[in-house]
Amino acid sequence: MEKTALLCDEHVDTVLVSLLRNSGYDVETVEEDLGKGLNDERIETYLGSTGRVLVTNDRDLKTPPLRGYCSTTIRTRNRERFSGQ
């Protein structure tokens, strides 16, 4: 089964990006692939054209959420929490 292609914004910790990539996910980041400081509307346009799902911890993300938006909290084995930051 093909894994979902993801786009992590600049609010996502690089450790989480690495964990996702090492787990076989196709991960792009806003900073690496699109440029730092991109606004929500430009990110939404990119998501729409690529079909990627946004991973973020941006508490100021516009409402209603961007198309392709999902929120997650991950607990690592050593009990540290990652919600993007």
Look at residue 85 and tell me whether its pLDDT is greater than 90. no
| Span 55-73, pLDDT tens digits | 887 777 665 555 555 555 5
The model scores a pTM over 0.75: no
Q: What is the pLDDT of residue 20?
A: 92
Kindly report the number of other CB atoms within 10 A of residue 79's CB atom.
6
**H or E element, residue 78:** none
Q: What is the mean pLDDT of residues 42-47?
A: 86
| Cα 83 from Cα 81, distance rounded (Å) | 7
| Cα 27 from Cα 45, distance rounded (Å) | 17
Query: Of 76 and 21, which is predicted with more confidence?
Result: 21
| Cα 60 from Cα 62, distance rounded (Å) | 6
| Span 3-43, pLDDT tens digits | 889 999 888 889 999 999 999 999 999 998 888 878 888 88
